[in-house]
Each structure stands twice: as C-alpha cells, then as structure tokens.
C-alpha cells in the first residue's frame, strides 16, 4: 500500500537535550514538499560530528532534534519538481548538497561549495518553507544538516541525495556518504601524493584511516600516523600505516619529531582531528619546497591557525578539503560503482567494526566516546 502523500508514523532516536541519551520515540514524518525526497533509512552510522552537536560544547543548542547524516536507504516518495529520483531508488543522503545550478556547482574549480545546499549545522528546518517535517503530537522536531538519519523515515532536499547502483550493499556503502569519502578523497583528490612519497596522517578515526587508505592506494612508501591513543596503532596497520607517533611520548613539538624522522619533513600530510594544534603541526611537518598539507578536521569556532609566514614563503602549501573534494550527486554514484568494481582498493569491512539494532543506538555513542572501534552500523529495521 502506497504511503505517498501521507504522514508516516515511525520510530526515531530523538535528542531532547545536550549530552543526554537519545530517546526512541514514535514520530510523524510529513510528506516531501517541492524539491524534497522522503527516504526509508535502512542503515546509519555515528560520526563525530553527531557527537559534537549532541554534546553542544561550543555550538548553538537546538533541541529537540534528530541527528544523523551517514546513512543509506530507499526512496519512499518524491515531492513536486523531483524528476531524477523515483520511489524504489537506492540512495545515500549527503550532509552537503549539489544544486547543479549555482556558480560553485557549475565551476570546474569548485566541487562541493554549493551556494544553496552547503552544509549548515545550525539550520533545523527545510529550505522550502522554513518548517520541519518531523513532529511528535504536533511539537516540531528539528532537522540536522538536512539529513536527520536517526529516523526510520526522513525528508531530504533532492540536491542532497545521491542515487546509487541498486546492486551496492547498503550496509557496506553507508560510510561512503560521509567519513570514507571525506578522508579518502582528501588524500587522493587534494593531497595527491606521488608513488614513493611519504605521508603523515593526523588522527586515526575512520576519516583518518580512510585518508591512510588513500595514501596506500597512491603508493606512498611511508605512512606515518599521529594520534594520542596508542590503542589505535595496531589496528591501523591494516590500513597501510607503517609508523606511529604519539605526541605524548616526546618533550618537543611533534612536527619536529616528524621532520627528524624523515630527513626534512614528509611530502604530504592530512589532518583529520579538528585540533588547531594538530593542524599547525601537520603543516609545519611537511617538507619545504614541495610539501603539501591538507586540513580536513573541523576546528572550534574561536580557534585561530598560527604559523610563521616563512613556512609558506619556503614553498609549503596549505590546503583545505571538504567532503574529499567530491560533488555529492555527480561523483558519489561513480565512487560506489568503483567500489563495486574493486577499482578503489577500499575494503569497507575494515571500517565497520560494530553493529547494533536501532533500539540500542546509545551503545554506538558509548563506543565512540570511549574511542572503541571505527564505525558502528545501526540497523533501523532491527
């Protein structure tokens, strides 16, 4: 029986206030409006960005809210004006969008800075009418980055939906919608290490290990990991890491340690922590003359990046990378196809270390807060 055009009642994990466990509630999900798509979410995973906005330390509180943005599912219905998606399509909702009409989307030099659909963590409503599509007994529930995937059904702007090959296993490709592409693309598309070069990866979460996988695929001769958690080092070897540095083990800046280890600095570095000190270290550890540092982690709102201008004048390059430099609607379907054809060299099973039914979603939070595992797959039908 078709549910198109009707309000759907389903389960969602609602954050009622900062830092408190999510509550599984029965909510109402309104039909999609113009340029919107309603998606049945089958799998979702927890990302550090969800944690940051759930804790609300240094961010604008907006509750009650349905978090979640790394997910996969199937289109249930589409709103007016949606022509390139239809019910039954397999999709990945993406936290940032591609309208295909603005100057960024049309530019060959800008991949995902869409004027209309660029990530906005503070907006909790839909663009079409400034209202939410979620409610509980008439009380609005706010959206998160336009995706809100901690719900069995969600409504997303069509520009934030990537249609993918229906043969792709939705649980395996779920992390492509955020963490994997963010890290892997930062290395492959932005840092672009050459075969035989050295690469330093700052941070060994899922994004950092995806960046390490990118360095391995590019043929890096040495991949040096920097992390404060020594428990992550052994597991990281599976992702191509060859050496490990814990800044706490030294009485001098870690960039100096890496420069000494490599005889002048690494050829490329990718920072995936969001710590401004790690960003500075990642930049100052690259070799003068040709070294390239790529920043991926999101800093706190009041952070300031400080380095001596001579570090730039010595022909080091500092770059930023957002979502791995991929266009959400154009590139992500191709990434999934390459994964299916084994052309990426990525083993998604290595990233999915835990799995829980939807009712136990708070276990995923506990695991991430304790630094255990990489991605915890949450089964919304279970």
Q: Is 118 one of the annotated active-site residues of the chain?
A: yes
Q: Does residue 99 carry a catalytic annotation?
A: yes
Phi, psi (deg, nearest 5) at residue 166: -65, -15
- The structure tokens listed for 290 are 């040709």
Look-up of token digits 């996988």: 213
Is 114 noted as a catalytic residue in this protein? yes
Catalytic residue among 35, 96, 114, 132: 114
- Which one of the listed residues 102, 235, 243, 354 is annotated catalytic? 102
DSSP class of 21: P
Based on the residue annotation, tell me whether 47 is a catalytic residue of this protein.
yes
49 is catalytic: yes
Out of 70, 76, 98, 284, the active site residue is 70
Q: Could you say which of 25, 28, 90, 105 is catalytic?
A: 105
Burial class of 117 by CB neighbour count within 10 A (0 to 12, 13 to 18, 19+):
buried
Q: Is 178 known to be catalytic?
A: yes
Q: What is the DSSP track for 182-235? A: HHHHIIIIII-PPTT-EEEEE--SHHHHHHHHHHHHHT-SEEEEE-S-GGGHHH
Q: Of the residues 25, 38, 44, 49, which is catalytic?
A: 49
Catalytic site includes residue 121: no
Q: Catalytic residue, from 38, 69, 104, 329: name it.
A: 69
Catalytic residue among 25, 38, 96, 99: 99
The two three-digit tokens of residue 240, written as one number: 């191509």
- From the candidates 118, 123, 222, 354, give the one annotated as an active-site residue: 118
Which of the following is catalytic: 36, 38, 44, 47?
Answer: 47
Q: Which residue in the list 38, 48, 104, 216 is annotated as catalytic?
A: 48
Q: Residue 107: exposed, middle, or buried by beta-carbon count in 10 A (0-12, 13-18, 19+)?
A: exposed
Residues taking part in catalysis: 47-49, 69-70, 99, 102, 105, 114, 118, 178, 375
């Amino acid at each position: 029986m078709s549910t198109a055009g009707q309000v759907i009642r389903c389960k969602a994990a609602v954050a009622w206030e900062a830092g408190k466990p999510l509550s599984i509630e029965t909510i109402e999900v309104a039909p999609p409006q113009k340029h919107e798509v309603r998606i049945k979410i089958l799998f979702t995973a927890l990302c550090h960005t969800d944690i940051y906005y759930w804790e609300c330390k240094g961010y604008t509180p907006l509750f009650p809210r349905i978090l979640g943005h790394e997910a996969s599912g199937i289109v249930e219905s589409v709103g007016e004006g949606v022509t390139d998606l239809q019910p039954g399509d397999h999709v990945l909702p993406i936290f940032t969008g591609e309208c295909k009409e603005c100057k960024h989307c049309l530019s060959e030099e800008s991949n995902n800075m869409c004027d209309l659909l660029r990530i906005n963590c503070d907006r909790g409503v839909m663009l079409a009418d400034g209202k939410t599509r979620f409610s509980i007994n008439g009380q609005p529930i706010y959206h998160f980055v336009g995706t809100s995937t901690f719900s069995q059904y969600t409504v997303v702007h069509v520009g934030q939906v990537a249609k993918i090959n229906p043969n792709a296993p939705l649980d395996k490709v779920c992390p492509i919608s955020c963490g994997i592409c963010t890290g892997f693309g930062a290395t492959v598309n932005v840092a672009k290490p050459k075969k035989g070069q050295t690469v330093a990866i700052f941070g060994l979460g899922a994004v950092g290990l995806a960046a390490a996988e990118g360095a391995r695929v590019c043929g890096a001769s040495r991949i040096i990991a920097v992390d404060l958690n020594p428990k992550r080092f052994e597991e990281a070897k599976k992702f191509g890491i060859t050496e490990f540095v814990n800044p706490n083990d030294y009485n001098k800046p870690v960039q100096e340690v890496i420069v000494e280890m490599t005889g002048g600095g690494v050829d490329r570095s990718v920072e995936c922590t969001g710590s401004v000190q790690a960003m500075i270290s990642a930049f100052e550890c690259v070799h003068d003359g040709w070294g390239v540092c790529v920043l991926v982690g999101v800093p706190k709102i009041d952070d300031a990046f400080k380095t001596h201008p001579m570090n730039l004048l010595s022909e080091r390059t500092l770059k930023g990378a957002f979502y791995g430099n991929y266009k959400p609607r154009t590139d992500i379907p191709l990434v999934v196809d390459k994964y299916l054809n084994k052309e990426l060299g990525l083993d998604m099973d290595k990233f999915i270390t835990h799995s829980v039914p939807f009712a136990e979603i708070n276990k995923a939070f506990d695991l991430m807060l304790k630094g255990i595992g990489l991605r915890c797959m949450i089964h919304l039908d279970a």
